[in-house]
Amino acid sequence: MQTSNNDILSMSYEQAFAELEEIVSGLEMDSKTLEQAISLFERGQALARYCAELLEKAELRVRQLSDRDAAHDAAQEETNGLDF
């Protein structure tokens, strides 16, 4: 498991989410000292924020692509409707 929050930025979504799942499982099952639990919780929060940011960016990209495709389709329909 990673120990520094600085490394999170270099992770893929899948890597960050897998570590987050591992942390959640560890907090649910293992007995930890209060300090260990707090440290894991902080790391989990950082991973959750990072995953949420990546999902927001992906959603924005999908929306932009969908809007661009819709604009292209509308332009095609206009062009097809013109009689020359």
Q: How confident is the model at residue 2 (pLDDT cuts 50, 70, 90)?
A: very low
pLDDT of residue 68: 79
Q: List the helix and strand counts (H, then E) for the chain.
A: 2, 0
pLDDT of residue 82: 63
Q: What are the sequence ranges of the domains in the chain?
A: 5-81
Alpha-carbon distance of 79 to 6, in angstroms, equals: 52
In this structure, is the dihedral angle defined by the CA atoms of residues 75, 77, 80 and 84, taken in order, positive or negative? negative
pTM of the predicted protein model: 0.74
Rg of the chain over all Cα atoms, to the nearest angstrom: 22
In this structure, is the dihedral angle defined by the CA atoms of residues 49, 55, 58 and 62, taken in order, positive or negative? negative
pLDDT, one tens digit per residue, over 9-26 is: 999 999 999 999 999 999
CB atoms within 10 A of CB 51: 18
pLDDT of residue 81: 64
- The second-level CATH assignment, the architecture, of 5-81 is Orthogonal Bundle (1.10)
